[in-house]
Structure 1
Amino acid sequence: MAAETTQSNRMLSIRLLVFGLLSLLLWAAGPAAPAPAITERNLQPQFDQYNVQGSFLLCEEPAGRYVAYRLKRCRQRFLPASTFKIPNTLIGLQTDALSDTAEICRWDGVKRSFPQWNEDMTYARALRVSCVPCYRQLARRVGVARYQQWLQKLRYPGMVVTPATLDTFWLGGKSRISQFEQVDFLRRLQAETLPIEKRHQRAVKQLLILRKTPAYTLYGKTGWRFRSARNPDNGWLVGWLERADGRRAFFALNVEPRPGPVNDDQFIASRRAVTEAVLRELGWL
């Protein structure tokens, strides 16, 4: 009986010790960060107006509140397409694969369906016109190892880079990113807290300006994953709006055409049109 009591006391002591250690670890880690406040809004009319379907996410600063249309879809991941030109340019500059955004990308002489791609251009212009051939050239200079290293440092998730997909991984394959993840990355870029030289962050931010007025500055980058036999078109506009009163709103739009024949020009224009319509609805424009 005495042996059983001793064994029981030992087990109790071990449990108390474990409980104490866990309590100490939790105390050292500090209180858990509260979940961000998310308000869901019905923004269907703004999408219907341009014959597209999709989702929209907005984060208001300094409050850190989110507004979401189709919250579940905002957490779904999609290929980043040309929105990846933002981290791609930063990585190119930081690794010296790109000397600066004034560096000239030489046209390879292949005529493509986008006339603005069929010429020599600076990388500043290549970002603005989403010139895929220029960024495929840059990707081959960066290389797999440096992408894997810097994507982890930037906490830019979901990219799958292999030797076989080195110059296309953001356009096809298994790479995926969500609207929440896009917004998180943009917030750190805007604050210049990425592990990239500040001069490079500032240079890229300047290239993202879509419109500047006395009342606000609108920053953004589009993306378009072209349709295939298996997948529909998928479009992005990610960015932020800075108001003269100091408030900011970060956003990520992801859209697809409604079922039926696709008007490419209408779909291309819908990304910015829907975004601006939503920003007006939410009182930011």
Structure 2
Amino acid sequence: MKICFFLIIAFAFFSCSESKDTPPAQKEGTRTENKLIEPAIKSIIDSSGVAGSILIYDPQKEVYYSNDFAWAEIGRLPASTFKITNSIIALESGAVENDSTVFKWDGKKRRFKIWEQDLIFRDAFRFSCVPCYQDVARRIGPKRMNEYLAKLRYGNMDVDSSNIDVFWLEGNSRISQFQQIHFLKRFYNSQLPISERTEKTVKRMMVMDNNEDYILSGKTGWSIRGGHNNGWFVGFVEKGNQVFYFATNIEPAEQFDMKRFPKTRKEITYRALKKMDITGLAGK
């Protein structure tokens, strides 16, 4: 009888200990601090043939929404999303005069036909002209680039004279989705140590969709190293007196049709924003 009583007490003790020390698994649709796992976003990612995360921040509610917060914490090459910051530094440093500054084509074959022409600065941004922005980075130089990156507190960039025109495309430079949104928040709210002129110019350059319902501003990015593809789409949506921030980062799953990859970054983000009732974005 004493043995049975002891076993019952012991079982109760260990059961209580286990429930106290083992946190419950996070469920979909449940909040952890200011982060909310959103099943609709997970469904979009899962049905698109990619792996990754869509991170959306609603500053009105001070809540982050995503399908995968762990993915959103990992630093990755910024790729062409760095054109936002590169543009800011170019204008602030005087390396580029304004958004109408012309970048001459040298006549050499480029990756995309649309790059094989003279481009003004805002069109170089719009067409994501890598050679144009490599020229911009060389004009700025590693010393000034590092000084401005420190002032702007943009990710963790690794810049020196040997990689000044490729550091955002290859190497050890890293930024996470959370860091992308933190930077965009400070930029949008005029909290960066830059001139009003630069801020207005870059915001104007970033506009992708502008209609009576919303304004969407952003930049895509795509890095390819050693056969490894990683895609970005970051930005913000203005709707009335509200603003929402987003940062999408994805990688193609096996057998993915890479011809679809450029559009997929945007399409899944548009779908997520629509599902979250932020806008009636149709996707492109």
Regarding TM over 0.5, the answer is: yes
Alpha-carbon distance between aligned partners in 2 of 1:173 and 1:145, rounded to the nearest angstrom: 18
Alignment equivalent of 2:269, drawn from 263, 275, 280:
275
The aligned amino acid for 1:281 is: K
Residue 238 (structure 1) aligns with: 234
1:252-272 CA-to-partner distances (Å, cap 9, x unmatched) read 000111112x43330000011
Is the partner of 2:221 in helix, strand or coil? strand
Is the partner of 1:165 in helix, strand or coil? coil
Alpha-carbon distance between aligned partners in 2 of 1:224 and 1:110, rounded to the nearest angstrom: 22
Residue 59 (structure 1) aligns with: 57
Alignment equivalent of 2:169, drawn from 155, 168, 171:
171
Alpha-carbon distance between aligned partners in 1 of 2:139 and 2:168, rounded to the nearest angstrom: 16
Is the partner of 2:162 in helix, strand or coil? helix
Residue 84 (structure 2) aligns with: 86
Tell me the matched-pair count: 247
Alpha-carbon distance between aligned partners in 2 of 1:265 and 1:154, rounded to the nearest angstrom: 35
After superposition, where does 1:70-149 map in structure 2 within 5 Å? Answer: 70-149=68-147
After superposition, where does 1:43-58 map in structure 2 within 5 Å? Answer: 43-58=41-56
Alpha-carbon distance between aligned partners in 2 of 1:130 and 1:226, rounded to the nearest angstrom: 15
Alpha-carbon distance between aligned partners in 2 of 1:70 and 1:187, rounded to the nearest angstrom: 21
Alignment equivalent of 1:37, drawn from 31, 34, 37:
34
Contact 1:36–1:66 (CA under 8 A) maintained in structure 2: no
1:232-274 CA-to-partner distances (Å, cap 9, x unmatched) read 2110000011112x111101000111112x4333000001100
Residue 228 (structure 1) aligns with: 226
Is the partner of 1:141 in helix, strand or coil? helix
1:205-253 CA-to-partner distances (Å, cap 9, x unmatched) read 1111111121111111000102424xx2110000011112x11110100
Contact 1:50–1:266 (CA under 8 A) maintained in structure 2: no
1:104-125 CA-to-partner distances (Å, cap 9, x unmatched) read 0011221122111111100100
Alpha-carbon distance between aligned partners in 2 of 1:249 and 1:214, rounded to the nearest angstrom: 17
After superposition, where does 1:161-200 map in structure 2 within 5 Å? Answer: 161-200=159-198
Alpha-carbon distance between aligned partners in 1 of 2:191 and 2:137, rounded to the nearest angstrom: 24
**Percentage of identical aligned residues:** 36
Alpha-carbon distance between aligned partners in 1 of 2:167 and 2:225, rounded to the nearest angstrom: 16
Contact 2:170–2:225 (CA under 8 A) maintained in structure 1: no
Is the partner of 1:142 in helix, strand or coil? helix
* Runs of 4+ off more than 3 Å: none
Alpha-carbon distance between aligned partners in 2 of 1:258 and 1:173, rounded to the nearest angstrom: 23
The aligned amino acid for 1:254 is: N
- Give the TM-score of the pair, scaled to structure 2: 0.84
Q: CA deviation at 1:154?
A: 0.3
Which sections of structure 2, spanning at least 5 residues, go unmatched? 1-31, 280-284
Which sections of structure 1, spanning at least 5 residues, go unmatched? 1-34
After superposition, where does 1:244-259 map in structure 2 within 5 Å? Answer: 244=240, 246-259=241-254
Structure 1 residues 36, 170: closer, same or farther in 2, change over 3 A?
A: farther
Residue 160 (structure 1) aligns with: 158
Alpha-carbon distance between aligned partners in 1 of 2:258 and 2:200, rounded to the nearest angstrom: 33
Residue 16 (structure 1) aligns with: none
